[in-house]
Amino acid sequence: MSVLSSNSVFTSLQQSGPFAVPDSVRYAGRFSAQTREWVKKLQEDPNNVAKYRALCSQIFEFLEVDNIEQIQLLIGNQELRQQRSERALHLVGNMFGINGNFNEIKSRVDEYARTADAVIHSLSGKILLPYASHIEATNEIEVTNNPVELLLIMFNDAYHKKARFEARRKLILMTLAGSIDQRERETDIEHKFSSFLAFLNGYVWSPNLKIGDLDPVYLYSTHSNEDYRCTGVTVLNPLQANLAEQGQDKYEKLTMIKRRSFNAGSKKTPIYVSIRKKPPEAKVLKLLRKNEKNPAVAVDDELGLMGVLDSVSDVKAFQKHLTRSASKANSLMVLEDISDTLIESTQYRGRAVGSSDKTSMMKFFARLGGMRVEFIIHTNQTWLNYMYQQDVAHNEYEVKRMFDTGVIELLFPMDIFHLDHIKTRNEMVKFFRKQIESYTL
């Protein structure tokens, strides 16, 4: 379900429909023609009526008012706003299960606000980099972390429509950040991430190597002039790479990776590894893409490892080595949701919006030691396709999934940010293709 659909859980952020931020928030009166027209539009979908009633109830309770007129009085009374803010922060703290005094709760809520800002910064810094000036947030909204102040800005006609929308957007993103933080505390994700790293260093990687000992090599690859897929790859040392660089053309790449190694029997096998714990802003974006407010449902890949090996046989050896390593660590390891398209005769069936059937990888979840870790395993060739091939490259995929799920339009509606979303999507795909296919890495 798209985040822009009428049944979206993010209806209150949509600029198409009864919850849209208006040009002005001057209250016309209950029986005015403007209000009657708005009510008529609201009643077109009975679900919206229920959402509106619930939303009004939450806002009035949060601000400790009975009607919209009292909200206007609150806007002009700084001392009263301060009192309501302290009460509201305690309510937020109890809702998200934050234990501590007022300052600790405030600090945690400020963290949610920083995550909300980071969501926008992450998009303007990559997916929408050439359009950063279009989507730059209003200064007054960026420096406001108090949820009561943000809520009152939504009802304050002294603020421009864009600022009022950004205040609403920040509040919603802060709520998602709070849900994610609560989930992380419940699942003890920080401890699990440390335990996962300890497992890898203690049982998986070669014991004769120091922690963090990495061997830099270069993947010298050739690419098709049709779709830039990798047609061949050779592993070079730095000296060989310097020689190869001199004759490099448009359809050749030199990609540096730093590899660890593991011992499978008597064989020392190199592996490039990227280990990650999703940052909060990435989890917020995933909730938006999935049209879901519950992190327990939508975010199933909090811990992850991506590995790149020389061949399919090395991939199989690594998978077997993982199982044996878990056993040495006194834990059974069970592989779940296995998908293997490293062999050319099999085809990837991506369920995610924007994914390509041309993608090749092995993907599975490993349950061990009280953790559930996502593993994505590549050969050198499939990883280079994941980086560079048309329709497959990760940067292209990121653009497509953010636009095609409706997230960009939800966060940056056309009537406020003046972005032609279809045109911008296509231009950003071309932008990343040009970066990928440029001569210099």
In this predicted model, what pLDDT tens digit does every residue of 211-256 receive, in sequence order?
989 999 999 999 999 999 999 999 999 999 888 876 678 889 999 9
pLDDT tens across 303-355, in order? 889 999 999 999 999 999 999 999 999 999 999 999 998 876 445 455 567 56
Strand pairing of 230-236 and 215-223? antiparallel
Let me know if residue 413 belongs to a domain: no
Instruction: For residue 430, tell me if it sits in a domain.
Output: no
- Domains in the chain: how many in total? 2
Which of 392, 409, 430 is at the close of a domain?
A: 392
Give the rounded distance of the alpha carbon of 315 from its chain centre: 28
The residue that leads in pLDDT, 343 or 187, is 187
28-32, 50-54, 263-267: the lowest-pLDDT one: 28-32
42 and 172 co-located in one domain: yes
- Same domain? For 176 and 224 the reply is no
Residues 135 and 273 in one domain: no
Quick one: what percent of the chain has pLDDT higher than 90? Answer: 70
Domain boundary among 355, 377, 392: 392
Could you give the dihedral angle defined by the CA atoms of residues 169, 170, 176 and 177, in that order, rounded to the nearest 10 degrees?
160
Comparison of pLDDT for 326 and 52, the residue scoring more = 326
* Same domain assignment for residues 39 and 125: yes
Residues 182 and 193 in one domain: no
Find out whether 305 and 375 touch, Cβ atoms under 8 Å.
yes
Looking at the fold, whether 378 and 238 belong to one and the same domain comes out as: yes
Considering the domain architecture, whether residues 92 and 203 belong to the same structural domain is answered as no
Asked whether residue 432 is assigned to any structural domain, the reply reads no
State which residues form the domain around 225: 189-392
Instruction: Say whether both 139 and 204 belong to one domain.
Output: no
Domain limit, last residue, from 376, 392, 408:
392
DSSP-derived pairing of the beta strands 215-223 and 334-340: unpaired
β-strand 334-340 against 371-379: which pairing, if any?
unpaired
Shared domain check, 34 and 175? yes
- Answer whether residue 422 is part of any domain: no
What does pTM read for this prediction? 0.91
Answer whether residue 434 is part of any domain. no
pLDDT at 345: 45
Over range 71-96, report the average pLDDT.
94
